[in-house]
Structure 1
Amino acid sequence: MRASVSASSAQPCLPCLHSHGNGRAVAAAYAVAACLVAVTFLALAALDPRAQASSWFLSSSSSSSLSSFSSLQPSGGGGASEHLLVTSSSYSDDGDSRNSTGKEVHEEVQVGGDDLLLSLINPSSGRGAPQLSVTPPTAAPELEPTPAALAPPAATESSDEVIEATPQVPRRRDVKLERLELGLAKARSAIMEAIKNKDKRPPLADKDYVPMGPIYRNAYAFHRSYLEMEKLFKVYVYEEGEPPVFHDGPCRSIYSTEGRFIYSMEMESRLRTRDPDLAHAFFLPFSVVKMVKMIYEPNSHDMGPLKRTISDYIGVLSAKYPYWNRSLGADHFMLSCHDWGPYVSSANGHLFGNSIRVLCNANTSEGFNPSKDVSLPEINLRTDVVDRQVGGPSASRRPILAFFAGGNHGPVRPSLLAHWKGKGQPDVQVSEYLPRGVSYTDMMRRSRFCLCPGGYEVASPRLAEAIYLECVPVVVDDGEYALPFADVLNWDAFAVRLRAADIPRLREVLSAVSPRHYIRMQRRVRAVRRHFMVHGGPPRRYDAFHMILHSVWLRRLNVRIAARG
């Protein structure tokens, strides 16, 4: 775990939340009502064949765990088909497992296939997808992160259902929500048509940029999805909460992605709505980095105050607005670049299990679920003039084969330093600290491959630094790291992934990349850079801010919120 940035301490709950101390009592009342609804639902579900319907897609390359909706059932069969891009699911060799809330999950599973989301999955594979029926939870317990179950990707041509989230307690028909869900259904159909016809149509028109080439899993479908997002998607930012813990974040540090997104979302006018009834997704604008600085007691190792702040904040929102309760958080998202983001998200069971968590610490072994969570690129900005931090020479002017410099901590770096630090290999430059006067940035610009091992956690700012400086990134891990934007980007086209066991063979593996192939990879790094750019001014289309929102958009398409009681 990265050393905390702590300068002062404060009370566990912010002043604006103190008047809402009855939130837990309300939650307890909801829990009792939920028990009665759950019994009724299970009796009906046993008679409803739709409860055994299949879903379309599993997520990108890694593990996933089943979302803990109060009740999960596919939307009604018959009528117009509606497809989804990602679906929360898990599998087990036995039919009995537990989801992220600790509730039992009974599954009948057919798995197969090796395509990842947004190749965009080959719909003609004809392989089966998991069939799910879920025991409804009766309350939202406080959770600790639990390992996610590994789920092989699967796709099917005949399954076209989305997961439907129904409320804990009966409510009136919501016509506005029905209208929103109809718009999302049309967008799903347009994107699915683009997936099926990716090789039969000319590129879509776009005045700024047309995605093309092998850096994408399916450039045509991504472009269609992006345009659908721009046309339709609206995000509501809750106005409750006071800076700096809310509506604020760091903009010049290793955690700058967190602050830059919060700031851009606050300033956003095109994709943001001020009317929550028009919103498809709801942003919870708290900053874990600021919480650690303002609330955490240094060296206490106690995240309780942080978790209580988040729990109370959600209590305020769920008491004031109907949106959290109607979906159990499934259309809400949080964002954190701090290592503790996943842990403090367990302050609320539905936040951890249902909501979209946008995290730099995208560790699948710690409960990160790529089918509903978003991997946030960690970008270390030292100045607002970002454009000066990009660019690099061609391959012929990069004499160093591989480069790494960084602290000796975490599960991977000790092995890397033990095998390559000070070994007298001039083309493999691995060190813990650079000598005085040696520029870290210049070393990356002189290197063909830049090693990107995680530290205390799986994410590393070196990934974005390498892309900025046109150095082919080498991700060193054992597959726990869900790479940013992997549902859209084909990382194999512009990066190398190396397992920890292969560290002794690092030089051999990288030397085997031919000069011609390396030149292609470096050009692709240059092309993909636009999706990782954070600009000093307003965000630009297809940049990091919009790619993060597009990732949220894809996951929002995964769920249909029931508009009826």
Structure 2
Amino acid sequence: MASKAPTYFSLLIFPTLLIIFYLSFYSQNKFNSSLSKRLPIPSNPLINVTNDNHHDFSSIFIFAKENEEKQKISKNKRSSLEMIEDGLARARAAIRKAARRRRYKSRKGETFIPRGPAYRNPYALQQSHKEMVKRFKIWTYKEGERPLVHQAPMNYVYGLDGHFMEQLEGSNDSLTNFIARHPDEAHVFFLPFSVVELVVFFYDPALSGAENLAPLRRVALDYVNVVALKYPYWNRSLGADHFMLSCHDWAPYVSDKNPKVYKNFIRAICNANTSEGFEPKRDVSIPEVNFPYKEINQPISSLGTSNRSILAFFSGRVNGHIRKLLFDQWENDDEIQVHQHLPKGENYFERLMQSKFCLCPSGFEVASSRLVEAIRADCVPVIVKQNYSIPFSDVLDWTKFSVYIPEEKIPEIKTILKGISLEDYEQLVDGLRSVKWHFTMNKPAKPFDLIHMVLHSIWLRRLNIRLPL
């Protein structure tokens, strides 16, 4: 990819074509109502260079084919799109039916059934997942060279990037059922560039933040330019059926300076901060997971609720103002235990499993691996974050297995947690256990596990749009 960059930059000097974007889509974020308010994408998304009233998008360089014959979608492609949209219409109808009837259509041969109050509508979720497995196809663009594309880390907090990419286009083909054989049959298109690798290659600590981010934005934009020039799919939907995935803190900044280009583009990211441009109706919040070296999951708890002697626990650096407030208030408290570093000989995961509540404050960014660590330890997460779009909240009701405390209530944490009755606490733990599977990585991926839930979140965004035929 890097070796081709000069070619792309030279092309950017000459284009005179401008894009006029029109899009109206995405309904409410809540799963129960999201399928009832679909809005179509306008039927003429292609560039009209004869229109004198076009917008001046000076930073947009999406290449359009001037040849009218190349712009047209062939009859075969048109019929493929018609079949895709017809299948999605059938899926929506089946999901709505399951949601209304509030009963499972069939459970034969299924390894996991969503049950209980932790789900907004478990019947709709079960049917939606069934429709996804039956229909959903993803095309991963083949363009580009390693390491900037088709490669990402497999360990630590960026590990989900690599695991997702490996399972979607790796040699083990663990997601074979979801892989499109040809782009014409794809519901969505994956842009497999790695934000982590872009940072590795282009970050220079001697430069200012804006100068450091510019190469990341340019390479990502170059990739969009390449696929938009080579294929009709980006221009057909204006990017509404295309997505990226990254857990790097800087992932949102890849697209923030080109809002016209990326207006409809699906960003599956961990740093899901609504005050920094994250759009829950369009984007996908994915959980940050700290993958151990040579492992795919953190330890899981086997302790019951009666064996937990610590009221609330947190261990981590004082990154960001929320953590500073937390430490200023509670660093020397015996019941609300907060540590920058655990005492020598203490084990972090054992402490989690000895705690009733686990504090999950924002750091410099809203995402943190502590949310998943708490869930796996059966420790009720206490979410202390502002403007965070919580993962999988389309289908999960987080109030049934976590506690939310706003920043201004940090001095009241002990009062709030002690005010939760034993019965309510046990219900929170029950809810926690019922959703733990959704935060578990498997190789190969299994129904309703972490990878499937990420796919399902993307599937829901595709269900919520209708492309022009």
TM band (smaller chain): 0.7 to 0.9
CA contact (8 A) 1:311 1:347 kept: no
Q: Which residue of 2 aligns with 1:522?
A: 429
Gap regions ≥5 residues in structure 1:
1-12, 35-69, 75-85, 89-115, 144-166
The 5 A counterparts of 1:355-366 are 355-366=265-276
Q: 1:458 aligns with which of 347, 366, 370?
A: 366
Q: Deviations over 1:180-221 (max 9, x none)?
A: 11111111121122222226x666445211111111000000
Q: 1:515 to 1:226 in 2, by over 3 A?
A: same
Q: Which residue of 2 aligns with 1:254?
A: 157
Q: Deviations over 1:251-273 (max 9, x none)?
A: 11111111211111113311011
Q: Deviations over 1:493-526 (max 9, x none)?
A: 1000110111101001001111222122112212
1:179 aligns with 2:83: yes
Q: Which residue of 1 aligns with 2:31?
A: 118
CA contact (8 A) 2:241 2:265 kept: yes
CA contact (8 A) 2:360 2:382 kept: yes
Q: 2:378 aligns with which of 470, 483, 493?
A: 470
Q: 1:72 aligns with which of 9, 23, 31?
A: 23
The 5 A counterparts of 1:7-156 are 14-21=2-9, 23-24=11-12, 28-31=16-19, 34=20, 70-72=21-23, 86-87=26-27, 117-119=30-32, 138=55, 142=59
Q: Which residue of 1 aligns with 2:65?
A: none
Q: Which residue of 1 aligns with 2:198?
A: 291
Q: 2:213 aligns with which of 284, 303, 313?
A: 303
Q: Which residue of 1 aligns with 2:134?
A: 231
Q: Which residue of 1 aligns with 2:115?
A: 212
1:491 aligns with 2:398: yes
The 5 A counterparts of 1:192-207 are 192-198=96-102, 204-207=107-110
- Cα drift, residue 350 of structure 1: 4.8
2 CA distance for matches of 1:486 and 1:73?
22
CA contact (8 A) 1:23 1:312 kept: no
- Cα drift, residue 140 of structure 1: 5.1
In structure 1, what residue type is equivalent to 2:123? Answer: Y
Number of aligned residue pairs: 442
- TM-score normalised over the length of structure 1: 0.73
1:393 aligns with 2:296: no
Q: Deviations over 1:331-363 (max 9, x none)?
A: 000011011100112354355321110010000
Q: Deviations over 1:464-515 (max 9, x none)?
A: 000111111010023x000000000010110001101111010010011112
- TM-score normalised over the length of structure 2: 0.87
- Relative to total residues, which structure has the larger helix share, 1 or 2? 2
Q: 2:334 aligns with which of 421, 426, 431?
A: 426
CA contact (8 A) 1:140 1:348 kept: no
Q: Which residue of 1 aligns with 2:453?
A: 547
In structure 1, what residue type is equivalent to 2:382? Answer: V
CA contact (8 A) 2:311 2:356 kept: yes
The 5 A counterparts of 1:527-542 are 527-535=434-442, 537-542=443-448
In structure 1, what residue type is equivalent to 2:72? Answer: R
1 CA distance for matches of 2:273 and 2:122?
27
- Cα drift, residue 287 of structure 1: 0.9
Q: Which residue of 2 aligns with 1:67?
A: none
CA contact (8 A) 2:40 2:466 kept: no
Percent identity reads: 40
In structure 1, what residue type is equivalent to 2:311? Answer: L
Gap regions ≥5 residues in structure 2:
46-53, 61-67
